A and B are shown apart, each in its own frame.
Chain A
Amino acid sequence: MKSHAEIDFRTRLQDWLPKLVLAPSFAVTLLFVYGFIIFTVVLSFTGSKMLPLYTFVGLENYRKLWALEHWHTALVNIAIFASLYIVICTIVGLALAIFLDQKIRGEGVLRPIYLYPMALSFIVTGTAWKWFLDPGIGLERAMHLWGWESFSFTWIKDSNMAIYTIVIAAVWQTSGFVMAMFLAGLRGIDNEILKAAQIDGATSFQLYRRIVIPLLRPAFLSAFVILSHLAIKSYDLVIALTGGGPGRATELPATFMYSYTFTRNQMGIGASSAVMMLMAIAAIMIPYLYSELKEKA
């Protein structure tokens, strides 16, 4: 009798244990992620200035936000930046991965060289990038000193082109990481499939286009999700490279949000821009998660 109860208790504990283990993570996420998101949404309907205030102003902040020229600049910039960044990183990452996968001598040396930028924050590399892109001290000047007088590279000083320098540095930071993801995907492909195709007379080009790249679909998906959320979060990069300039030409939603919340003391507007960003992230993430989970289930 006694032992029966004990067993009963133990099995019940075993039933509950997994959920108990998961519970703390779930609880802190509920509070620190969803609780804070709700807080931000509430804030976006208030007239908060320097610190949170709870005087509700309805949709006033959203009206102001969409009337701001800056916000429109930030949106145009994120569209340019995100699409270029995602596309270029994917192409560069895939190409490098395919090339590295050709039994290259020195792979052990090249791989960390491609990967290391991911290890550094822009607080560390910002100055170097800023100098490098600056025509007066960087690449342009070096080229002039080395005799190529007509060389010109003044993008960072040009309101219309500066956003592209941000892309260059951003691609520098993450394309190596994307390469690693594709490389992992390539190494995971069953060699037998490839051999069979080769016997059928497929050229290498066809091999990659028809068989390998479709097989990399999960890696593409992971890369897309990682890159798109990094693009929306991009902040340090802009601050380090251009400080949002020339003028306000390289403002992104993240820098916009920070500046209105923390330096302009217009927290309400900052919060409404944050809500917009969260909605954009959700719009990317939810379909992805949905398909991921459905596939697994």
Chain B
Amino acid sequence: MRGFVAKALTAVAITALSAGMAKAADVEVLHWWTSGGEAAALNVLKEDLKSKGIGWVDMPVAGGGGEAAMTALRARVTAGNSPTAVQMLGFDITDWAQQGALGNLDAVATAEGWDNVIPTALQKFSKYDGHWIAAPVNVHSTNWIWISKDALDKAGGKAPENWDELVVVLDKMKANGITPLAHGGQPWQEATIFDGIVLSEGTDFYKQAFIDLDPAALGGEKMADAFNRLLKLRTYVDDNFSGRDWNLASAMVINGQGGMQIMGDWAKGEFLKAGKKPGVDFVCIRFPGTQGSVTFNSDQFAMFNVQGDDKQKAQAQMASSIESPKFQSAFNVVKGSVPARTDVPDTDFDDCGKKGIKDLAEANTKGTLFGSMAHGHAAPAAVKNAVYDVVTGAFNGKYKDGAEAAQALASAVAAAK
């Protein structure tokens, strides 16, 4: 017992001491990248900063795609104790900027020419009122389908390119006795599928409905059709989908129980970890009818107001390290996403990654790069959750048809705006 106490006290003394020593120029980072691969990727950034004499105080808070972290952040900012940098998504960044809580990265951004290399659709979130406030880390795109090569071969072998072909493939898979669509019944997963469907109804329609929140588009015929497609997809899901984690749905595709999964590019990690090879064991395609367009979400580090010259310097250095092509490549290879700047060489990426980089560049120049509704890059949190309510309701059989769901969507969004 005494030994334990002594050890405990030493441990306290050491942590207290090291905390004291590291005071010089630290960055305190709040994030939710706690799984092996993600954290390893983030460690690249940490090491880079360390080589420049900047310490890293880690504050990881996982859960709910950052929901728990955002609650913790609110407590910290309210207490007047903001971290240096916080991992954040989409409209959360804008919301914090509106509160005047964020710092200014204009100096680094200008010096390094971020304006020219970071896609405009991302800049919408990294900038507020014309000033840089956040450093984007990656771009995930959500309109992907991951198909088991084996199941696809048995279902005709041709990857579907439009909605009708998709239905044909799904029907064949069903006839072959597998679950055609591996899906996890959580609101955000259903909304991810719905992103793809809405985008497949046309890029202009996606913009009107989800970015501009036009009531006519939200409640209109096309939206009714989109909901009908969602209900059609519902018929290809097994009985046991509700509440399932997305990675268990991936596992179904990996072990041959399921035919395909509609999920963002982070699903790739599951396939790779299981020893599957892109193109050989599984195929990655864009949601049929959305080729050439990308719905994205982007993790960014929002930089909070910090006091003191050395701290601001450390913060600027961190932002600069995040945007260095070396880190962008190293991080995104591991994470399954693509770099947040368009000039990073794709040499280290696998086939799906290369395709993702190409698609992003193409969508960026064509103007068909849109924020994902499901992942908080199309509309603020209140609207996003209102959309979740209706989409997940529809998927769980709450509305009799697409038209009724579309009506419900229009009124839910109106109420949340």
Binding site for B on A (CB under 8 A): 49-51, 64, 67, 70, 130, 134-136, 154, 156-157, 159, 242-243, 245-249, 259, 262-266
Interface residues of B in 296-326 (CB under 8 A from A): none
Given contacts A245-B187, A248-B393, A259-B385, contact A51 B78 (CB under 8 A): yes
Taken together as a complex, chains A and B put the C-alpha atoms of A259 and B244 apart, in Å, by 20
Are B243 and A245 in contact, with the CB atoms below 8 A?
Answer: yes
14 A–B pairs (Cβ distance < 8 Å), ordered by A = A64-B415, A70-B389, A154-B240, A243-B243, A245-B185, A245-B242, A248-B187, A248-B389, A249-B396, A262-B70, A262-B71, A263-B67, A265-B380, A266-B382
How many A-B contacts if CB must be within 8 Å?
78
Are B382 and A246 in contact, with the CB atoms below 8 A?
Answer: no
Given contacts A247-B392, A247-B393, contact A265 B242 (CB under 8 A): no
Q: Mark B63-99, 1 if CB is under 8 A from A, else 0.
A: 0100100110010011000000000000000011001
Taken together as a complex, chains A and B put the C-alpha atoms of A259 and B385 apart, in Å, by 10
Residues of A contacting B71 in the complex (Cβ-Cβ under 8 angstroms)? 262-263
Residues of B contacting A64 in the complex (Cβ-Cβ under 8 angstroms)? 415
The answer to whether the Cβ of B186 comes within 8 Å of any Cβ in the partner chain is yes
Are A243 and B380 in contact, with the CB atoms below 8 A?
Answer: no
Are B185 and A246 in contact, with the CB atoms below 8 A?
Answer: yes
Residues of B contacting A159 in the complex (Cβ-Cβ under 8 angstroms)? 396-397
Taken together as a complex, chains A and B put the C-alpha atoms of A189 and B71 apart, in Å, by 49
Q: When the two chains form the complex, which single residue of B67, B240, B389, B396 contacts A136, counting CB atoms closer than 8 Å?
A: B240
Are B99 and A245 in contact, with the CB atoms below 8 A?
Answer: no
> Considering only CB atoms, which chain B residue lies closest to A70 in the complex?
B389
Q: What range describes how many residues of B lie at the interface?
A: 20 to 34
Are A246 and B240 in contact, with the CB atoms below 8 A?
Answer: no
Known pairs A51-B74, A136-B244, A265-B95 / 6 extra A-B pairs, C-beta < 8 Å: A134-B244, A156-B243, A245-B242, A246-B242, A262-B70, A263-B385
The answer to whether the Cβ of B398 comes within 8 Å of any Cβ in the partner chain is yes
Are B187 and A262 in contact, with the CB atoms below 8 A?
Answer: no
The answer to whether the Cβ of B239 comes within 8 Å of any Cβ in the partner chain is yes
Residues of B contacting A264 in the complex (Cβ-Cβ under 8 angstroms)? 381-382, 385, 416
Min CB distance B392 to A, Å, is 5
Q: Mark B380-417, 1 if CB is under 8 A from A, else 0.
A: 11100100010011011110000000000000000110
Majority SS of interface residues in chain B? helix
> Considering only CB atoms, which chain B residue lies closest to A53 in the complex?
B99
Residues of B contacting A249 in the complex (Cβ-Cβ under 8 angstroms)? 396
Are A50 and B95 in contact, with the CB atoms below 8 A?
Answer: yes
Taken together as a complex, chains A and B put the C-alpha atoms of A154 and B398 apart, in Å, by 19
Taken together as a complex, chains A and B put the C-alpha atoms of A266 and B415 apart, in Å, by 12
Taken together as a complex, chains A and B put the C-alpha atoms of A158 and B243 apart, in Å, by 11
Give 10 nearest A-B pairs by CB, closest first: A247-B396, A136-B240, A246-B242, A157-B242, A262-B71, A265-B381, A264-B385, A247-B392, A263-B67, A264-B382
Q: Which of B77, B242, B395 has the most CB of A within 10 A?
A: B242
Q: Mark B184-210, 1 if CB is under 8 A from A, else 0.
A: 011100000000000000000000000
Residues of A contacting B398 in the complex (Cβ-Cβ under 8 angstroms)? 247
Given contacts A51-B74, A243-B186, A263-B381, contact A134 B243 (CB under 8 A): yes
Q: When the two chains form the complex, which single residue of A157, A243, A265 contacts B382, counting CB atoms closer than 8 Å?
A: A265
Min CB distance B194 to A, Å, is 14
Residues of A contacting B186 in the complex (Cβ-Cβ under 8 angstroms)? 243, 245
> Considering only CB atoms, which chain B residue lies closest to A156 in the complex?
B243
Residues of B contacting A135 in the complex (Cβ-Cβ under 8 angstroms)? 239-240
Given contacts A263-B70, A265-B382, contact A246 B243 (CB under 8 A): yes
Min CB distance B166 to A, Å, is 25
Taken together as a complex, chains A and B put the C-alpha atoms of A242 and B184 apart, in Å, by 12
> Considering only CB atoms, which chain A residue lies closest to B78 in the complex?
A51
Min CB distance A180 to B, Å, is 29
Given contacts A51-B78, A157-B240, A248-B393, contact A262 B67 (CB under 8 A): yes
Are A156 and B67 in contact, with the CB atoms below 8 A?
Answer: no
Taken together as a complex, chains A and B put the C-alpha atoms of A156 and B243 apart, in Å, by 8
Min CB distance A206 to B, Å, is 48
Taken together as a complex, chains A and B put the C-alpha atoms of A243 and B67 apart, in Å, by 13
Min CB distance A211 to B, Å, is 47
Min CB distance A263 to B, Å, is 5
Taken together as a complex, chains A and B put the C-alpha atoms of A248 and B187 apart, in Å, by 9
> Considering only CB atoms, which chain B residue lies closest to A50 in the complex?
B95
Min CB distance B93 to A, Å, is 12
> Considering only CB atoms, which chain A residue lies closest to B67 in the complex?
A263
Q: Which of B243, B393, B398 has the most CB of A within 10 A?
A: B243
